[in-house]
Chains A and B, each alone.
Chain A
Amino acid sequence: MNDASKRNSYQFPLGKHHRSEITTKSGRPLEELGIEQVSSGQVDSDDVSVSAETLELQAAFARESGYAEVAANLTRAAEMTRIPNSEILEIYEALRPGRSTYYELLSVSQRVASMYSAQHTAAYIREAADAYRDTGMLKVDEK
């Protein structure tokens, strides 16, 4: 089954229609996350994290319901599931005003593309770099 037809077989909300088919970011079935497993220490934080595939499904639901921008955000989010917490905070910091040079932003963009296959996120950071260059929001000394 290709991606599109697989997606078409899903119905929103997943929690109601597909709970038994959903797996966590770590690949465990959601239904394995019971009180007993938690209490016996068999569940860690990756087991309660959303997977890229689930966020892509949610992006498709948003797009089909007419929320194109929400869908684009969820698509970036799907990619960003692959980026560790600490690096996420670094990317945010790099995008704050006056924090980065043009080339620093481009290198962040390249890194997320190559290391995490985050193409949409990379494009978004590249667009930010251009906008910061054109409107004076780069690090001051290398404008």
Chain B
Amino acid sequence: MQRNEQSKRFAKLSQRDINKEVFVDELPELGLIVMNSPTDPSPSIKIQDGKIVEMDGRDTADFDAIDRFIAQYAIDVERAADAMELESVEIARMLVDIHVPQRRVMDIFAGLTPAMIAEVMGHLNVVEMMMAMQKMRQRKKPADQAHVTNWKENPTLLAADAAEAGLRGFAEEETTVRVARMAPFSALALLIGSQVGRPGVMTQISCEESLNLRLAMKGLATYAETLSVYGTIPSFLDGDDTPWSKGILASAYASRGIKSRFTSGSGSEALMGYGFGWSMLYLEIRCILMVKGAGSQGVQNGSISCIALPESLPNGVRGVLAENLVAAALGLEVAAGNDAMSSHSQMRKTAKLMLQMLPGTDFITSGHSVMPRKDNLFGGGNFDAEDMDDWLVIQRDMQVDGGLRPVREEDVLSIRRKGALAIQAVFHEMGFPEISDEEVEAAVTAFSSDDMPDRNSVEDLAAADAFLESDRTALDVVKALAKNGFDDVAESVLEMQRQRVLADYLHTAAVFDEKFNVLSAVNTPNDYEGPGTGYRVEGNRWEEICALPQALDPKSLVEAETGDERLLLEPVGPAVKGEGDEVVVAVGAAYGTVMNRTLADLSHADVLKAILDGIAAEGARARIVKVWHGADVANIGLSGAKLSGSGIGIGLQSKGTALIHKKGLPPLNNLELLSMAPNLTLESYRSLGRNAACYATGRSPHPVPMKIDNMARLRLIVHTMLLHHREVRQIDPDRGIEELEVTFQ
């Protein structure tokens, strides 16, 4: 009979963040399957007269519009016959083989059908996919993209946040709107703020497609990311587009000198009800091939806002990495997702992030909020303002480039002020509703839009409408900036306009450095070919990553310390063996003379006095010696014990670690150890003295109670190491062990 038992551990586990998630089993007919659906097509190709007439088991007559688009524009017919002859596992091995260069793999992928690509991915585990991503990423140097929005849609806060994002190293910044009519002002604030933060940061606004294009044509945005594609036609039609209409938009953006990338991601078709029983990865591969066929330089994928759906299924995170990898292998810039909230669990979020952050993608996230989550109008970000330092530490831990740089508070405040003042000046000059000095001040130090005064939104919206309808453009912004003394910002905003004329940044994976040098797959291609090649985190960039403002100078932790003025330790000659009920207290070589406090911040005088008081309280005598030949606490203690008439000694290191030892025991087998030096109190040392006296006089002591703090080692290990190092440096074997005369002052 089953008993009605409940585990308290299971009860606790059920409350953990990870168990707030929904997990489901696969159900292919509803599209709930990430890779290898039983109804996924098998790879095949037939070519007649230079045209694909059969692809993945369907012939031309059965092609849907997506098959047709892919066959016509995305597959290189001249490469297809040879590429499709290869075994899929052979192609999978080429992806991870450092002896097969990136270009060779791209040439093969150019001839593969969607089902063949899906089959290749099926052979790779996540580590292999990461190795492949490291090679197939298009731009040599990885980067990251920022999301910059706020709930109140306050332009001053937006400009300040955009400036901070630039300073923090983001290569691109994206904003969006809650109220669509605010779009012209939000785009303007982002443009100005970004150029204050770092010249050359590219900006975009995510809004309705034709409004987006109009804003870009005004010079208020330099790229677009809104071109969504779907892997089945009914999903496409729900999005009110076709592969061809999206394709013409890509050309339209380019014709105005505006970079664009498409958007797709695993799970969108299933979510919209039109997955057709195909795996999410197969559908996504169709999307990526459409993106390629349309001639876009890149894609933001990685499931994006659908991420929770693949993550509810087996293999979900692996499948999402596979879609990133497919895009890279097809020669597309990849903004790799990690933008929408992917889990309640911090551990799970980080684990997933590592799949893109460690190999590096063109953009590790498709948006990392520079503001707190409540201000994220993209529906709440996966990583936000509060995660910045974690990101920076991970870069330093692993010597990886996550695209960000450490910043100092004073620099952030100053760049935010400049951003806020610049937008204030432009609003004033262009006759928009005034930005008050109070707003500027609030934006400089704000945590969130709660810290911002409210604006008259009716006036703002009317002015934004008028700005959109007017013939005023980014050139008027340049004028306003220059007139108000923001010459450098005016120059950057103008250079962004000149770059539209040059059009260099329309190429695959293009971003600008701070001098407007374009970095793209064309002029800085990823040339990874194994250890020692490709992009390495080194030189100035590595120094920058290392230089966390909160990193301490190790010398500053110990250098100033001197002996304890309240403790006079007078050497009176070599220590000798004693007699009777005595305890020998043996201190470390630095004790009281070149150091004065323990890790618990107790003075050496107080600690020694507490021990001596404890010994005296139990009626034993005490002698004090200094051990010069070693710094290990067992060595110190045992040295004392060997000299002690009772055979009992106390060893006391300068950092405060102490023990009771007994003559004849092996060094590491002591009687009692106070190892948690940071948690010790004077009462602990007094008890240790009493216990040692009890041993010396043949009575049974009670072990000293210890406060356990598991975090103490984490917090103090550097201090421990440095203090111990000082003790070790005092070692002088020639001096052996000296008897000390003690005076407390």
Contacts and interface: CB of A to CB of B under 8 A. Distances in A.
10 contacts: A25-B501, A35-B490, A67-B297, A67-B508, A70-B507, A76-B255, A92-B248, A96-B245, A98-B237, A125-B248
Interface string A94-132: 011110000000000000000000000100110110011
Nearest to A14: B502
B502 A48 contact: no
B232 to A, nearest CB: 12
A62 B522 contact: yes
B251 A73 contact: yes
A99 to B, nearest CB: 9
Contact of B72 (A16, A83, A127): A127
Contacts of B506: 55, 58, 70, 74, 77
B241 interface: yes
Interface string B194-220: 000000000000000110011001110
Most chain B beta carbons < 10 A, residue from A51, A79, A134: A134
Most chain A beta carbons < 10 A, residue from B233, B253, B294, B498: B498
A90 B385 CA distance: 41
A15 B512 CA distance: 11
A13 B502 contact: yes
B331 interface: yes
B241 A80 contact: no
B210 A92 contact: yes
A131 B475 contact: no
Contacts of B577: none
B611 to A, nearest CB: 73
Nearest to B491: A35
A48 B479 CA distance: 14
B257 A73 contact: no
Contact of B522 (A12, A24, A34, A39): A12
Contact of A92 (B233, B237, B245): B245
Given A44-B475, A49-B257, A66-B106, A30 B494 contact: no
A80 B521 contact: no
Interface string B510-525: 0000001110111101
Interface residues of A, number: 65
Given A35-B487, A95-B245, A13 B508 contact: no
Interface string A13-34: 1111001001011000010011
B254 A38 contact: no
B68 interface: yes
Interface in B115-159: none
A91 B107 CA distance: 33
Interface residues of B, number: 76
A141 B236 CA distance: 20
B255 A55 contact: yes
Contacts of A45: 217-219, 471, 473, 475
Contacts of B106: 66
A74 B295 contact: yes
Interface in B227-258: 233, 236-237, 240-242, 244-245, 247-257
B331 A66 contact: yes
B210 A50 contact: no
A143 to B, nearest CB: 14
B503 interface: yes
Interface string A42-57: 0111001111001100
Give 3 nearest A-B pairs by CB, closest first.
A73-B295, A77-B254, A80-B255
B584 to A, nearest CB: 77
Contacts of B236: 97
Nearest to A55: B503
Contacts of B214: 85
Given A16-B517, A22-B502, A74-B506, A96 B73 contact: no
Given A39-B483, A45-B475, A55-B255, A92 B249 contact: yes
B478 interface: yes
A65 B521 contact: yes
A82 to B, nearest CB: 9
Given A38-B482, A38-B494, A97 B507 contact: no
A97 B237 CA distance: 7
Given A45-B475, A131-B65, A132-B244, 15 more contacts: A13-B504, A15-B502, A24-B501, A35-B491, A43-B475, A58-B507, A61-B507, A61-B522, A66-B331, A73-B295, A76-B251, A80-B255, A91-B252, A92-B210, A137-B233
B69 interface: yes
B500 interface: yes
Contacts of B494: 33-35, 38
B406 interface: no
B670 interface: no
B252 A67 contact: no
Contacts of A72: 73, 295
Q: Is the interface of A mostly helix, strand, loop or mixed?
A: helix
A98 to B, nearest CB: 8
Given A35-B478, A50-B257, A88 B252 contact: yes
B254 A55 contact: yes
Contacts of A134: 68
Most chain B beta carbons < 10 A, residue from A61, A83, A131: A131
A106 B520 CA distance: 37
B497 interface: yes
A1 interface: no
A69 B68 CA distance: 16
Nearest to A48: B497
Given A49-B256, A55-B255, A137 B242 contact: yes
Contact of B296 (A30, A66, A73, A78): A73
A135 interface: yes
A12 to B, nearest CB: 6
Nearest to B487: A35
A89 interface: yes
A81 B255 contact: yes
A25 B294 CA distance: 25
A33 B219 CA distance: 15
B503 A50 contact: yes
B507 A96 contact: no
A55 to B, nearest CB: 6
Contacts of A14: 502-504
Contacts of A137: 65, 233, 237, 242
B437 interface: no
Nearest to B296: A73
Interface in B19-66: 63-65
Contacts of A78: 255
Nearest to B260: A73
B493 to A, nearest CB: 10
B593 interface: no
B76 interface: yes
A111 to B, nearest CB: 14
A128 B242 CA distance: 9
Nearest to B507: A62
B416 interface: no
Most chain B beta carbons < 10 A, residue from A55, A69, A124: A69
